[in-house]
Amino acid sequence: MKPAIKVLALSGGVGGAKLALGLSRLVEPGELAILVNTGDDFEHLGLRICPDLDTVLYTLAGVVHPEQGWGRADESFGFMDELRRQGGPDWFLLGDRDLVLHVERTRRLAEGERLTQIMSEFASRFGVASRLLPMSDAPISTLLETDAGALEFQHYFVRLRSIPKVQKLHYAGAAQARPTDEVLDLLRSRSLEAIIVCPSNPYLSIDPILAVPGLRMALRAARVPIVAVSPLIAGRAIKGPTTKIMNELGIAADALAIARHYSGLIDGLLVDEIDANAETLRALAQTGIRVGVTRTLMKTLDDRERVADAALALAAEVASARGAGTGTAYPSAAPIDARSVG
C-alpha cells in the first residue's frame, strides 16, 4: 500500500523545486505530494513540454543540472545541434535525454492517457517516492498581455527573455479545467497535515494553480494549515521576473505584498530574516497571518532542509494556535530559527 500523504506542496519550477526537495527529505518516503503548475506547458516541435513538472521531477530524482536548476546534469545536445543545422527553431533548449520525456509524454497523451498517470509513471521510473501531481489534466496556458502583444509564457520567458512589459495575465483554458480526482482525494484525506506554498513566482507559478476552478476552495476545505514561503528577499527575487512583473503591475515588491496576494488562502508566511524589521513585522501582523522568520536563501541542501523545516514548524504553530489538537507530525528535526511573531 502507498504511504499516506502528510504534506502537500504547491510548486512552480526552479524556486519551488528547491523547497520541495527540502520537504521530501524531512518526511518519510512517499509522504509528500507536489501539486505542480502546468500553465508554463506548451506545444513545441509537435511535442508537449511541461517545464515545471520536469524540473520538479529531475530535482527530486537528483539528476537536475545543479547550476541551472532545470534540465539534466548529464546531458548532450546532438538533437539541438542538428536542429540548428536544419534551420529549425532553436530558441528553446532541448537536451537529448530530456527530449525522451517530451516524446514519450506526447505519444502517451495522444493514446489517451492522462498527464497525471504519465507523470506518476515517470516519477516511479526515476525512483522518486514523492507524488508529482499536475494541477489539472486539462491544458491551461498562462498568457501575458505585454507591450509586445499577447505572449504564451515560454515565448515571453525564454524567447524574449522576460523583456516585454507585462500589463495583465490570463490563464487560458482554466475555466474549462477541473482538479484531478487524485488531488481532490488527497485534499479530503485525513492524513494530510500541512499545505506549503513554495517560494515560486506567485503570478506565473502559483496563481495558475489557484485558477483551476474549485481548487482554491478545496485547499481551504482541507482544513490544514497553509503556509507560504516568500519568494522575495530584501525586495528582490532570487531568479526570474517576479519583482519585474510586480513593478509593472504597480505592486510594491515586498513581503507584505506577498502576504496580501495570498490573503484568504494562507495561514502563515515564512519571510527572510533580512525582511524581519519591526515595521514589516507590524504590518504583517495586521494581516492576521502568522509570520515565521528564517534565512530563506536556499543554496545548499542543508538550506533547503532548514527552510522546509521552518515552514513545517510554522504550519505546526498554526495548527496548535487553532487548538485543533492535531498538531503536525513534524516537530523540528533540527533546531529551528523561525521565530513566530504573529
- Judge contact between 115 and 50, C-beta under 8 A: yes
What's the sign of the alpha-carbon dihedral 291, 296, 301, 306? negative
Least distance (Å) between residue 19 CB and ligand GDP: 8
The rounded distance, in Å, linking the Cα atoms of 137 and 130 is 19
Among 116, 146, 180, 205, binds ligand GDP (CB under 6 A): 205
- Judge contact between 151 and 229, C-beta under 8 A: no
Q: Where are the beta strands (DSSP E) in the chain?
A: 7-11, 32-36, 42-44, 47-49, 131-134, 141-146, 149-152, 166-172, 194-197, 226-229, 232-233, 236-237, 268-272, 290-294
Residue with grid cell 538550506, as numbered in its chain: 303
Give the N- to C-terminal CA distance of the chain in Å, as an integer.
40
- Of all residues in the shown chain, the one whose CB is closest to ligand GDP is 15
The rounded distance, in Å, linking the Cα atoms of 20 and 41 is 20
Cα within 13 Å of Cα(14), Cβ side = 16
- Applying CB under 6 A, does 15 fall inside the site for ligand GDP? yes
- Judge contact between 224 and 193, C-beta under 8 A: yes
Least distance (Å) between residue 71 CB and ligand GDP: 11
Least distance (Å) between residue 249 CB and ligand GDP: 14
- Applying CB under 6 A, does 22 fall inside the site for ligand GDP? no
Residues 45-64 contacting ligand GDP, CB under 6 A: 52
Please say which residue, 165 or 322, places its beta carbon nearer to ligand GDP: 165
Please say which residue, 108 or 216, places its beta carbon nearer to ligand GDP: 216
All cell numbers assigned to 293: 522568520
Please say which residue, 261 or 322, places its beta carbon nearer to ligand GDP: 261
- Applying CB under 6 A, does 306 fall inside the site for ligand GDP? no
- Applying CB under 6 A, does 199 fall inside the site for ligand GDP? yes
Please say which residue, 75 or 113, places its beta carbon nearer to ligand GDP: 75
- Applying CB under 6 A, does 197 fall inside the site for ligand GDP? no
Least distance (Å) between residue 179 CB and ligand GDP: 20
- DSSP class of 28: P
Among 5, 7, 8, 16, binds ligand GDP (CB under 6 A): 16
Please say which residue, 227 or 237, places its beta carbon nearer to ligand GDP: 237
Least distance (Å) between residue 339 CB and ligand GDP: 17
Among 7, 9, 10, 13, binds ligand GDP (CB under 6 A): 13
Residues 139-178 contacting ligand GDP, CB under 6 A: none
- Judge contact between 267 and 225, C-beta under 8 A: yes
Least distance (Å) between residue 286 CB and ligand GDP: 22
Residues 219-248 contacting ligand GDP, CB under 6 A: 229-231, 233, 237-240, 242
Among 130, 180, 200, 294, binds ligand GDP (CB under 6 A): 200
- Applying CB under 6 A, does 116 fall inside the site for ligand GDP? no
Please say which residue, 128 or 204, places its beta carbon nearer to ligand GDP: 204
Please say which residue, 136 or 201, places its beta carbon nearer to ligand GDP: 201
* Residue 169, SS3 per DSSP: strand
Chain positions contacting ligand GDP, by CB under 6 A? 11-16, 18, 52, 199-201, 204-205, 229-231, 233, 237-240, 242, 296-298
